Structure 1
Amino acid sequence: MEKLVDRLASYGAYHRDMRNILTHFIGIPMIVAAVAILLSRPIVDLGDLSLSPAMVVAALAAIYYLALDLRFGLVMTALLALTVAIGDALAVAPMAVWLGWGLGLFMVGWAFQFAGHYYEGRKPAFLDDLAGLLLGPLFVVAEAAFMVGLRREVASAIETRIGPVRVRERGRQRG
């Protein structure tokens, strides 16, 4: 659990404002889906097996998440499989449809990310550590779990290191 807490605390230090976290609940899934869609072409046939770059990237990411934590890793693997299935479905669509969904979700997802970091008053974590790009989806899953009372021991260990999430009061100034 220590490695999981280290990674989530490192990423979470850039995400202590609830408004930022909420924008990540929208933006990160959009970006992950966009990457899966955009990497779903081309498909390489290896005999009875067809493989896309999206499948390879998702499998490698799933291995990383499973190595960090089995329970979160299983959830991440299921979500990655879903995004690959969405990408596969769009990969057979006309080029304009495939590209429109992929690029559209990617751009709108990043707009949500940067809006959240405006509220946070801090740059995105990946600007200091590219691993933040891989930790973002796990962070969203972990925060959702914490919000419904799951994995309290992980949430507590993270808060001990970086403090609780801030909920800004209405009308309060940024800063």
Structure 2
Amino acid sequence: MKTLNDQLSNYAAYHRDRRNILTHFVGIPMIVLAVVVLLARPAFEVAGLSLTPATLAVIIATLYYLRLDLRYGVAMGLLLAACLAFANATAGLSTGAWATLGVGLFVVGWVIQFVGHIFEGRKPAFVDDIMGLIIGPLFVVAEFGFLLGLRREVEAVIESRSGAVHSGRALAK
């Protein structure tokens, strides 16, 4: 299994333009929330508990993130739990409202993502490695942490392997 640094560095290689990273701060959370919302139906009773495909997806993803890194895993688990709470609340909406919310978030999130990759001038990471779909949310959390001055050792490894983040304008001149 690839390490945290391997996964983040591979993903980061497709995301060195600051504008692209900023679009990911909006687009990826929208996509993740949309997927969890769309998986919030149907609910099944198991041992007296109400479980949904979203619950199972959140558990599996959180376990993967925890295996990569305890601190990031906890952060991702908390964020996914918040998405799950929101999704469970939306599952009670009419089918039309629930589907419109989920599909709307999904489509708008992907449009924002692709605009970012126009800035980047490079295709999304998942085109070459499907794991990019699960690493993207972790990348956003890591980049947010870097902005706060957290996990500088991880940031240093990513930059040594993938290059520094740039504004995009300097390259265009």
Measured against aligned partners, the alpha-carbon deviations of 1:48-71 in whole angstroms (never above 9, x if no partner) come to 111000000010000000000000
What's the counterpart of residue 156 of structure 1?
156
What's the counterpart of residue 71 of structure 1?
71
Provide the rounded CA distance (Å) in 2 between the counterparts of 1:119 and 1:150: 26
- Establish whether residue 134 from structure 1 lines up as the match of residue 134 from structure 2: yes
- Establish whether residue 173 from structure 1 lines up as the match of residue 159 from structure 2: no
Measured against aligned partners, the alpha-carbon deviations of 1:39-89 in whole angstroms (never above 9, x if no partner) come to 000000113111000000010000000000000110000000011111100
**Maintained 8 Å contact 2:119/2:168:** no
- Runs of 5+ consecutive residues of structure 2 not aligned to the other structure: none
What's the counterpart of residue 90 of structure 1?
90
What's the counterpart of residue 12 of structure 1?
12
Using the TM superposition, give the Cα deviation of residue 169 of structure 1 relative to its aligned residue in structure 2, in angstroms.
3.2
TM-score, scaled to structure 2:
0.96
State, as a whole percentage, how many aligned pairs show the same letter. 53
**Maintained 8 Å contact 2:120/2:168:** no
Using the TM superposition, give the Cα deviation of residue 162 of structure 1 relative to its aligned residue in structure 2, in angstroms.
1.1
1:14 is paired with a residue of what secondary structure?
coil
C-alpha RMSD of matched pairs (Å): 1.3
Please tell me the residue identity of whatever aligns with 1:34. Answer: A
Q: How many residues align?
A: 172
TM-score, scaled to structure 1:
0.95
Please tell me the residue identity of whatever aligns with 1:145. Answer: G
Provide the rounded CA distance (Å) in 1 between the counterparts of 2:100 and 2:162: 39
Measured against aligned partners, the alpha-carbon deviations of 1:140-173 in whole angstroms (never above 9, x if no partner) come to 0000000110000000011111110011338x73
